[in-house]
Structure 1
Amino acid sequence: MTTIAMIQARMSSSRLPGKVLMDLNGQTVLQYIVSAAQRVKNIDKVVVVTSTEDDDNAIQEWCSENNVECYRDSLHDVLKRYFGAAQHYNAETIIRLTADCPLLDPSIIEQLIVFYEMNGADYCSNVALATWPDGMDCEIFSMSSLKRAHEEATLPEDREHVTRYIHRNRSIFDVRNLPCPLGDLSDHRWTLDTPQDFEFLKQLLPLLPKNPSYTDILSTLKTLPKLDIKNNQPRVTIKQSSNTNRSYERSQKLLERAEKTIPLGTQTFSKSRLSCAPGHAPLFASHGRGGRIWDVDGNEYIDMVMGLLPTSLGYADPDIDHAIKTQLDKGITFSLATELEYRLAEKITEHVPCAEKVRFGKNGSDATSAAIRLARAFTDRDHIIVCGYHGWQDWYIGSTARHKGVPQAVRDLTHKVDFNDLDQVEALLNKHPNKFAALIMEPMNVALPNENYLQDLKTLLHKHDTLLIFDEVITGFRYAIGGAQEYFGVTPDLTALGKGMANGMPLSAITGRNDVMDEMENIFFSGTFGGEALSLAASIAVIDKIKNQPVIQTLWKSGETIKDGLNRLFSQHGLSELIKLCGLAPWQILQFASYGEYSPAQIKTFFVHELFKRGVLSFGSYNICYAHSAQDIQNLLQAHDNVLSLLKTHLQNKTLSDYMDYPTIQPVFEVRKNA
């Protein structure tokens, strides 16, 4: 197997021109990285790959003077340059390095080579998920993968960035990442990109031993904290494409295959073809990172769905993933309870105002249904009042348009009321005295509660010996660490928690007053996977992160930026009466009005499908995560600006139906209405 290390170098850096040949403590920057590559075992040849531009003649001259192989090709089509070099040197395995990493530790390259060989992957790196210090970057991939990328990649971004096509098409490439064994060190900045970086490296190098390892560098910087510089923003290793001509061919083929064995082709109504038009929308995901997601066709999106809200920190959060992987080494589901159960329960009782005791489930419906059963057991009553969306179980879904399969006797026990309408509640309680076990409600969704509404509701219910249950499956750990009850200052009797608990791992909880929760010993609420350890470990890490980092503040700040930006755009385009943004900043929902012959559903369908084309995945809501960056939000607002302009044109010209080559998507059912 011929293994070639290829060092990408050019003189035309925009922020620090000529940096690769700058003198850094007696030798050029390029010499550092060449020397590091030459010290790596099992590399057959080290080649500098540069462009044919006149600026880069100096790089070729340096290579000639130092007996280093040099290959030259296109400046902008770097993928072509790499493929040409790989062909020229008969490479079977390519190690991609960049000339802006003068401190690169050869031992990291050797680890990655072993990792690549053991896994048999198409591509391995330590940058697919950044955990190593910035400046320790290395990628390894097969000649066959490089050849396929070269032959199939057509977007300018895919040609300019050698491995971008591989990264975004993980449904066809086996991509692996080598994490840093010391945890997340990605805030350390040892790369050379700016004059500030150069000054830092010039001061640091004399303090290091010859040929330092990355641990040598860490140890030195630990003694000199004032010298150390850090990355202030998360590293973006792949740029988002501005291409609007997106293909969904693979999604369509997978849907046809999936529907042969899975009704609707997926497990969730909101992720199915009922929410978007097949052939015109992404239906299957490949992978996610931070606040972005890639579909199986390689299209990249700023994700405003975030798994329907459970991924509140972002995909592949290093802290949560570390907790999961650490627990994975110990086991998943055991024959006995584990300490994780009471440790997580203690954290919930510490932060959630109503929480005195806790039990765990796997999804939101587990928690809301447990709350209903507890309330019925505690009050010895059968009837329930519902206000919001509370899951798929018979006791709730029987009150909606999706009630097929629910016995009428069960449906008769559930009564619906509108949010903010105390008179409705009082009328029901008076009409059926001593019949209602509880009222379960989302304390906030699209409409704000009226002044004193939640407290007055609690008082009214307790007057009738009826329990108040907050469904905080969405708002818990999102509006505040203690949820909406902390934010609004009203404590319910019971609370259902879920989506915000474990950053995508399946976990929910029912919590509340001691006397009510003690009925758990008398009812039957029990499941094999209630104590599943990976989710519990993830949830502990999530709550710790929310407590120790500005997670909640960031959700509010990002949401406010989106709200201000969208409202400005609605006004600029004269569409403020047609589209309104409802809800609080961490979780906002669009509501559409009709316009002439066009229904709200048709306008919404147009809106979300045009956002898909512009790299925004949204079904009409803005489910902020901690990882969404300022650049993500800027791109999102630009996409909305473009879509709103197009929408206004088609509405004015009465050409919306003619433009839409996809059917109007109708809501499954509507439970959240703006007051």
Structure 2
Amino acid sequence: MSLSISTQERAKIFIPGITQLLSKNPTRFSEGIWPSYFSKAKGAYVWDLDGEKYLDMSISGIGACILGYADEDVDAAVCDAIHKGVASSLNCAEEVDLAEELCTLHPWAEQVRFTRSGGEAMAVAVRLARAKTDKSVVLFCGYHGWHDWYLSANIANESALDNHLIAGLSPQGAPRELCGTAFPFAYNDTAELERLAEEHKDNLAAIVTEPIRNFEPTEAFLSSLRSTADKYDVPLIVDEISAGLRYNTGGAHLTFPGFEPDIAVFSKGLGNGYAIAAVIGKERVMRAAEYSFISSTNWTERIGPVAALATLKKHRELNAGDRLVALGTAVQEGWARLARKYGLDIHVGGMKPMGHFSFEEEEAVKNAYYIQLMLEQGFLAGESYYAMYAHTFEQVEQYLDATDVAFSAIANTKDIMSKLVGKPTVSGFGRIA
């Protein structure tokens, strides 16, 4: 048994759920062959515990390492901060610099609060909205993390979140008293949004959306988000955790002319793998942080803000967003072309720099076989591709050549199950409707 696989077996004993992040759980790939643990990561390459080197064309640190693994400029800034000390009884000035930078990048925003992860940043954003309005109900579309406010949508209806990226999320442990405080609406469905807002107008606290995921927003939808929030005098929150920095140095919402939220939330790519998240917003909403208790020790450490400042500086200088979109476009076009070549029925979707494909038939088995075939060719690859600036177009061609081999094998193998070394893939992310 390889060290990578034996470590998975140890994890099953000592770590409930195997991993800290669902998206990195080996069952989401092909348990038994997916290496799961890394010893080194640099550029676009990952080395597992057994020393095997792979070109990572999969989830790229689940979208966190937007420049690439162990970026020299970001790491140099972090190492300098470490040598000077990252925690003390005083605050780090870099958090002020970062707050100013984020407000410069987003001229509508006036104040900023920081956390160290996306889920908790979304919890802060919702808390601010509820504190501002003194009301409880949140209307949302898209995926927004693991916290009680979001999972409570599944208390009364266990399938309420099924069309919002991850199906079957259990609300077990979320207080049942939160039932009726969060309601989903479909992306681009202005009628449903407006109906829910009118239905819950007496207790409406916030409207939450992702700026983009599987679809581009319509002008009517963007207009309805803003006008509905204004009509009922509630904050409009845009969750940029996935989309932020993928299209530009800032939020994807900046690509929609005239569209302004009241709060935007960033994490993932903001620190190129270092833990940092930001809640930016208009002063009239952000001031709620002064009378709602929102405080945590590790939100004051220095590494996160330093990493974010270095990431934003390099991202802007490189105009990284254009490259990420171009890389993702090439990959999605390649998937579609190769599927046609071999008569495979697949769905291709997602935002261009963070795309996915899925087999329409026998998805779990075919995906596991695809992963296995790609590992054999030296690639970490699954049904998702998250672009990093470190990826080259030559690497994309190498990846698509390997996918050509894999798709050919899938199309020409009658009994795929008999070929699997690992287990079939547990259902992955859904298509947000």
TM superposition score normalised by structure 1: 0.60
Q: Report the structure number with the largest CA radius of gyration.
A: 1
- Partner residue of 2:248 out of 476, 480, 485: 480
CA distance in 2, matches of 1:606, 1:427: 44
Q: Do 2:267 and 2:278's aligned partners in 1 also have CA atoms closer than 8 Å?
A: yes
1:660 and 2:414 correspond: no
Q: Give the Cα–Cα distance (whole angstroms) in 2 for the partners of residues 619 and 354 of structure 1.
A: 38
Pair 1:505-2:277 in alignment? no
Aligned to 1:389, the other structure's residue is in SS state: coil
SS in 2 for 1:529: helix
Q: Say whether residues 1:543 and 2:296 are aligned partners.
A: no
Counterpart CA distance in 2 for 1:568 and 1:277 is: 25
Cα deviation for residue 611 of structure 1 reads: 2.3
8 Å CA contact 2:349, 2:356 repeated in 1: yes
1:206-245 equivalent positions in 2, closer than 5 A: none
Separation in 2, partners of 1:353, 1:297:
48
Point out which structure has higher relative CO (alpha carbons under 8 A, 6+ apart). Answer: 2
Q: Which stretches of structure 1, 4 residues or more, deviate above 6 A after TM superposition?
A: none
CA distance in 2, matches of 1:561, 1:264: 35
Structure 2 CA distance for aligned equivalents of residues 301 and 658 of structure 1: 25
Contact 2:103 2:110 in 1 (8 A): yes
Deviation readout 1:436-475 (Å, 9 max, x if unpaired): 1112111111122224322222112321223211100111
Q: Among residues 582, 585, 589, which one is paired with 2:352 in the alignment?
A: 585
Shift in CA distance, 664/398, structure 1 to aligned 2, threshold 3 Å: farther
Which residue is 1:435 aligned to?
203
CA distance in 2 between counterparts of 1:305 and 1:280 reads: 17
Q: Which residue of 1 aligns with 2:381?
A: 618
Preserved CA contact (<8 Å) 1:311 1:500 = yes
Pick the aligned partner of 2:28 from 270, 275, 280. 275
Q: TM-score, normalised by structure 2?
A: 0.92
Q: Provide closer, same or farther for how the CA distance between residues 646 and 354 of structure 1 changes in structure 2, counting only shifts above 3 A.
A: farther
CA drift at 1:333: 1.3
Please name the residue that 1:609 is paired with. Answer: 372
Cα distance between partner residues in 1 of 2:368 and 2:356 = 14
Q: Distance in 2 between matches of 1:361 and 1:451?
A: 32
Corresponding residue SS for 1:264: coil
Q: Identify which of 394, 401, 410 aligns with 2:178.
A: 410
Distance, in Å, in 1 between the alignment partners of 2:317 and 2:23 is 33
1:642 aligns to what? 405
Within 2, Cα distance between the matches of 1:552 and 1:376?
A: 33
CA distance in 2, matches of 1:584, 1:268: 22
> What SS does structure 1 have at the residue aligned with 2:348?
strand
1:565 matched to 2:318: no
Query: Quick one: distance in 2 between partners of 1:365 and 1:619?
Result: 24
Q: Which amino acid aligns with 1:559?
A: G
Partner of 2:166: none
Classify 1:277/1:329 alpha carbon distance in 2 versus 1 (closer, same or farther; 3 Å).
same
Question: Does the Cα contact within 8 Å between 1:398 and 1:404 map onto a contact in 2?
Answer: no
Deviation at 1:392, TM superposition (A): 1.0
3-state SS of 1:564 partner: helix
What are the residue-to-residue correspondences of 1:97-246 with 2, within 5 Å? none
Q: Closer, same or farther in 2 for the Cα pair 1:586/1:429, shift >3 Å?
A: same
Q: What is the aligned partner in structure 1 of residue 165 from structure 2? A: none
Measured against aligned partners, the alpha-carbon deviations of 1:179-231 in whole angstroms (never above 9, x if no partner) come to xxxxxxxxxxxxxxxxxxxxxxxxxxxxxxxxxxxxxxxxxxxxxxxxxxxxx
Structure 1 unmatched ranges of 5 or more: 1-247
Q: Secondary structure at the match of 1:263?
A: coil
Contact 2:235 2:285 in 1 (8 A): no
Deviation at 1:424, TM superposition (A): 1.1
Aligned-residue identity in percent: 32
- Cα deviation per residue 1:9-42 (whole Å; 9 max; x = unaligned)? xxxxxxxxxxxxxxxxxxxxxxxxxxxxxxxxxx
Aligned Cα RMSD in Å? Answer: 1.7
1:580 Cα deviation from its structure 2 partner: 2.3
Provide the secondary structure at the position in 1 that maps to 2:84. coil
* Correspondence 1:554 to 2:323: yes
Which secondary structure does the structure 2 equivalent of 1:511 belong to?
strand
Is 1:533 the equivalent of 2:302? yes
Q: Is the 8 A contact 1:443 1:454 kept in 2?
A: no
Equivalent residues in 2 for 1:14-163, closer than 5 Å: none
Matched to 2:420, the amino acid is M
Amino acid at match of 2:353: P
Rounded to whole Å, the distance in 2 between the matches of 1:265 and 1:429 is 40
Q: Could you tell me how far apart the structure 2 residues matched to 1:592 and 1:409 are?
A: 39
Match of 2:71 among 317, 326, 334: 317
Q: Is the 8 A contact 2:63 2:269 kept in 1?
A: yes
Partner residue of 2:84?
330
The whole-number CA distance in structure 2 between the counterparts of 1:432 and 1:316 is 47
Q: Give me the whole-angstrom Cα distance separating, in 2, the residues matched to 1:476 and 1:314.
A: 16
Q: 2:192 aligns with which of 384, 404, 424?
A: 424
Once the two structures are TM-superposed, the CA of residue 661 in structure 1 deviates from its matched residue by: 4.0
- Residues 327 and 661 from structure 1, CA distance in 2 versus in 1: closer, same or farther, beyond 3 angstroms? closer
Q: Distance in 2 between matches of 1:561 and 1:507?
A: 30
Q: What residue identity is the alignment partner of 2:194?
A: E
Partner of 2:158: none
Residue in 2 that maps onto 1:630:
393
- Structure 1 or 2: larger helix share? 2
The letter for the 1-side match of 2:380 is L
